[in-house]
Structures are given as structure tokens and as C-alpha cells.
Amino acid sequence: MDTSNLTASSADPLHLYENSVQDTEIVINLVDRICRERGRDVAMSLREDFCGTGQLSVDWVLSHPKRTAVGLDIDRSTLDWAHRKNVSRLFDASDRIRLVERNVLDGTREVGFDVVAATNFSYFAFHERTSLVNYLRSARQALGEGGFLFLDVHGGPDSQFELEEVTDFDGFDYVWEQGMFDPINHRTMCRIHYRFPDGTELRNAFTYDWRVWTIPELKDALIEAEFQSVDVWWEREDEDEPSAAATAENLESWVAYLSAWR
């Protein structure tokens, strides 16, 4: 992305999002390590749920000459953007990716995926446990023997308070606003804004009406959806990569990863 002279009216929100929110290398490296540590073959086929701009699917395909990806998203205009800006980067390898306009609750006809991934907490959009479990069941059905569902999850006391966090990126500031948190139903409203050197601001570029699910709730829901076991991958202070953990020290704010085995 050309980051010179960005302003609220000229910047492309999805480009800003990719450059400030997504880090596909972390996901791909962790998926590879989970397979290694659990003695599985290298994962080849990915279904990326809530794929948005398809960046993970595209980087997955680029990470190995035999890797394939299917991405699902409900939003046609985001998928069109994904094709224009990301799938086009694949040239000949574009026959190894398919981005489909579909509700993740409806699943895919294809099954046998090595990994189904839902990243950036997208499944927090499910407020009711029944919807969450239906989604998890549908993800499980898409997995092949030995496959796993990969989820990220964030939490900690900070996730329950209103706050605004500003991060400086090349050419713009990324602003994460965590709005109200309701302790009875764990509903929270989060927003992403972008600020530019000329003083303009792109407010509410993205808005999320989420339920903050906890790790124990997720583990219970995954077992109810008939996953055989669930590992939690937690990054300890003295380590630079998450490792499998049964217990952890609480932090004000944390991101962890789950692998749920079919």
C-alpha cells in the first residue's frame, strides 16, 4: 500500500484494515507448528471462514506450491475487493483458491479440509450459544480425518472496559475503540477508526457488535459440537511463540489460540 499522503477521503478502508489488523504469518506459522507438535502431516487444505479480504487464504496458497484454500464470507463487496486486490496476486496459482459468498452457518459442499480457520475473533458475532455451537458443528463437518479448527480468542480484564488504543502505522494511526461491555450477556461494541497526518479521521471504518466468549465457554461449546479435544495455545512472557498450555497467568489483555481436533 502506498502510504504517502493518505487522507480520510482517499484511503481504502480494507487496505488500511489489512495493514493494521491482519498478520497472516502468525497464523500460518502457528498452524504449521501445531501440526508438527501434534505429529500431523503438514496441512495442505484450508477453509478460511469469515475470510473478508481473503488475505489469509492467498498467503496460505503462496506458502506452499500444493496448498489450496476456500474462503467463505457473507459480504459480496468485500469478496469482490478480495478478488481484485488479493486473488489477482496469485496469477497461475489462482486455480488453488476459491472465495465463496456464503454464510459460514451454511458450510460448504466440500469436506475433508485439513484446517478450518476463523481469525480475528469473527465468531464473536454469534451472541447465542446455539448459533455458536451450530457454527462449530458445521466447521467440524468440513474437516477431514485428523483435521482441526483454528480459532483465536481475546480477553482479560481490559476487554471488559471502555478504552481507546492508538497504534502508529506508516502513514496513519489505527484506533481501536472498545465501547460498552455488558457483564450480563458479555456484549461489547468495538470500532476501528483511522487518523491521518492531515488531521482528517475515518471514523467507524469497521464496527463490531460482539459477544466476548471466554476460553472455558468455547471449550465446552467445542466439546458439545463433538470435537474430540481442544488445545489452548498461549504466549508466555518469556517465549516469542504461543505454546500449548493447560493453565496461564492472567494479563490485562491477551490473545490466545485454540485448536479443536475433529
Ligand X SMILES: C[S@@+](CC[C@H](N)C(=O)[O-])C[C@H]1O[C@@H](n2cnc3c(N)ncnc32)[C@H](O)[C@@H]1O
74-79 long-range Cβ contacts below 8 angstroms, 24+ apart? 74/101, 74/102, 74/103, 74/104, 75/101, 76/101, 78/14, 78/52, 78/53, 79/51, 79/54
Neighbours of 127 (CB within 10 A): 14
Strands 187-195 and 143-155: unpaired
Looking at beta carbons only, is 62 or 146 nearer to ligand X?
A: 62
HSE of 239, CA atoms in CB hemisphere, 13 A: 9
Looking at beta carbons only, is 38 or 189 nearer to ligand X?
A: 189
Looking at beta carbons only, is 126 or 183 nearer to ligand X?
A: 126
Q: Which residue is nearest to ligand X (CB)?
A: 52
- The CA distance from 58 to 28, in Å, is 11
User: C-beta of 106: minimal distance to ligand X in Å?
Assistant: 8
User: C-beta of 198: minimal distance to ligand X in Å?
Assistant: 27
User: C-beta of 51: minimal distance to ligand X in Å?
Assistant: 6
Residues that bind ligand X (CB under 6 A): 21-22, 50-52, 72-75, 78, 103-105, 119-120, 122, 125
Residue 240 C-alpha cell reads as 516469542
- Terminal alpha carbon distance of the chain: 38
Looking at beta carbons only, is 125 or 199 nearer to ligand X?
A: 125
Looking at beta carbons only, is 7 or 141 nearer to ligand X?
A: 141
User: C-beta of 19: minimal distance to ligand X in Å?
Assistant: 12
User: C-beta of 72: minimal distance to ligand X in Å?
Assistant: 5
